[in-house]
Amino acid sequence: MSDKIKVASPLVILHGDEMAQVAFEKILDKFVTAPLDIDLVEIDLTAENRLVTNGQAVKDAIDALNRFGVGVKNAGMTVNRAQLDELLAKHPELDPSTLHPLATKSPNGAIRKGIGGNITREDIQFRNLQMERPEWIGRDIEVDTMDEGGIKDSANALSDATGVVKLMFVGASGDPVELHRREVNKGDPWLLATNDLEAVEAWAHRFFQRAIDEQRDIYLGLKDTVIAGYDGVMRAAIEAIYRDHYQAKAESLGLAYHYELIDAQAARIVANPPERALWGVPDNNTGRKLYKLVEQLKRYGIPSRKAQVSISRMSAGGGDQYGSFNAPAEEDGLLKVVVDGEEKHARRVRKGDPILLMSNDHEAIKDWVLQVFRDASRKDKEVYFGLKREYMEYDEVFSTVITDVRHELAKADTPPPSFMIMRPSSQLIKMITDPPRNALYPAQNLDGDIFSDISAALGGSLATASSIIESKNGTMLFEAPHGTAHDLYLKYLESDGKEAHFNSSALIFAVANALETLAEREANPALADYATRLKAALIDTVGDGIITGDLKGKTNDPAGETVVDMHGFLDAVEARLSA
C-alpha cells in the first residue's frame, strides 16, 4: 500500500521556459509527485508550443483552470521580434500571416482575463532576509520623459450607452475603415492615446545628446513585448536614432547603453542604482511617476523595510495597456472613436504613429475592489489606492466604484478596512519610502507590474515574493513573479547542466500555496499539514543561512551564509521537509 498522501482534486500545471522550467520540473518531482498521489493536468505553455499550436495551448490553460479551479503557473518567455523569427525559421510549416495573437504574445494577460482573475503580490515572510539598502541620497541619476502625448494627452470618457466602441480610420481613400471594436456597458471607461512619432524621434535626439553632453550612462525602458504596437514602435524608432547618430560617440566616451523592459529595469535601478545615469522613460504616464520617485529617493533615501508590502493588480478586465488594441498608423489620416454609433472623438495621426485604444469593465472593477477589501480585512491591512483622477475620467470610475462598494459593505454590516485614495506617484513613493505599515497597494495592471517588481527587488529578489491570481468564481492560480532567467539558462546550457544557478523559492511557495488551497477545498488534513511543512521547510532553509547566489549578503548574518546552487538548495529544503 502506498504511503503517499491521497489528493482527490487534480492540480493544473502550466509549464514554462528556460531556467525556471528546469527548476520547476525538479520541484514537481521532489515535492509533488514523489510524496503525493495526485492527478496533474499538465499544459505546455512554452513559447514554442504556444506558437506551433497557434495559441491553442493558452486556450487549453484557461479551460483547465476554469474546470479544475486550482493551478500553478511557471514563467514563460514573451518573444521579441528576433526570437520570433528564430522560432519561425525552426518551423517553416507555419505561416506568420495566419498566427493568432495568442501564439506570439505573452499568455499572462489572456489567462488572467480568461479566468477573470486579479493579482496579489507580497513578500514571502523569510525571517532573516535583510536587504542592504542602496545608497540613494545624492545619487546622480536623472529621469527623462516626454512632456506631451500618450495617456497624458489621451481622449478618455465613460460610455453613456451599452454597445460597441469602434476605432475608425479615414485615410487617403476617404473611406472609413474599422481598425478595432469592443463591447462596452454603460459606465465603462474607454481611452484613446497616440504619440507623434516625429515628437518621439525629437525626444530621442535630445535624450541621447543630453547623455553625451553630461557623460551619463544611458538607460531606456519601455514595455515593448506586451504593447508591441505602441511601446515597441517607440523603441524601434528611438534605438534606430541611437545606432545611426549617437552610438559611436557614446562608446568612444565609455558610456554604456542599457535597454530593458520597464518593470525589470525599474526594479534593478531602484534596488541597485548606477553611479551616474540618464534614465529615459518616454511613456510619460510611467515616466513622471518614476521621475518623482527618483527625486524623492535622491533627497531622503530608502528606509529599512519593517513590514510586509502587498500589491494588488487590477487585471481581470484587461483594462489598461495590457488589454489594449495597439498598432502603428499605416498612413496619414484621421482616427475616430465611435461609441454605439455616435462619434466621441477624432484626431489626426501620421504614418507610423503608435495608437493605443483601451477600455475597462465596470463590473470587473467592482469585483476587484471587493477582492481588495476582502483581502485587507482578512489580513488587517490598510489600503492605499493609486488613481489619476484630476484629468482622467478613466480613473474616476474606480473612485466611484470604491465609494459604492464601501456603502454596500456598510449596509451589510461589513465595514471596509481603512483606506485612502492618492495619486499613483504618491502611492509608489509611500510604498518605497514610508513602508512600516501592514499595507495593501492596489494599482492598475501596468503600474502594478512595475511597482511590484520594485517592491520585490527591495525585499530581496523577485524570487522572494509570491503571486496569487484569484477570480470571482474562486479559481486560484499561483505563480512566481520572476521571469525565465535567460542569462542563467545560457550558463546552464554552456556548462552542460553543471552550472545550475536559480532561486526556486517563489516556485516552491507557489506549489505549497496551491496544495494548501486544494487541502482546504477537499478538507484534507494530511495535505494541509504537508503544505504547511513545505512552506516551513523553505523558510527554515533560508533561515539557516542556506541560500542561492542572488541572496548573498542579504541575510542578517552574512558570515553564516552557505551559498549553494539550485540543486543544493532543493536538496536542503527536501532534507528539512523530511526531518
Place of cell 488587517: 380
The pLDDT tens digits for 439-456 are 899 998 889 889 988 888
Domains of the chain: 5-129+472-578 (3.40.718.10)
* Residue of 279, 312, 547 lying closest to 417 (CA atoms): 312
For position 316, what pLDDT does the model report? 63
Three-class SS of residue 479? strand
Q: Tell me what percent of the residues of the chain surpass a pLDDT of 90.
A: 71
Question: With contact defined as beta carbons under 8 Å apart, do 163 and 339 qualify?
Answer: yes
- 254 dihedral zone (left: phi>0; alpha: psi -120 to 50; beta): left
> Where is pLDDT greater, at 368 or 251?
251
Q: Which residues contact 212 (CB under 8 A, 6 or more apart)?
A: 246, 249, 250, 253, 255
β pairing state of 419-422 and 382-386: parallel
For position 49, what pLDDT does the model report? 97
When the pLDDT of each residue in the chain is averaged and rounded to a whole number, the result is 92
Residue 142 confidence (pLDDT) above 70: yes
Tell me the residue type at 308: Q
> Where is pLDDT greater, at 434 or 558?
558
CA distance readout (Å), 16 to 22, 262, 315, 319, 514: 9, 22, 21, 25, 17
The pLDDT tens digits for 276-330 are 999 999 999 999 999 999 999 999 998 877 666 788 888 766 668 888 899 999 9
Place of cell 556548462: 495
For position 307, what pLDDT does the model report? 67
Tell me the mean pLDDT in the region 412-420. 86
The pLDDT tens digits for 444-502 are 888 988 998 888 888 767 788 888 998 888 899 999 988 899 999 999 999 999 999 99
pLDDT bin (cut points 50, 70, 90) of residue 364 is confident
Question: With contact defined as beta carbons under 8 Å apart, do 79 and 104 qualify?
Answer: yes
Q: Tell me what percent of the residues of the chain surpass a pLDDT of 70.
A: 97
Place of cell 487617403: 172
Residue 1 confidence (pLDDT) above 60: no
For position 133, what pLDDT does the model report? 79
Residue 425 confidence (pLDDT) above 90: yes
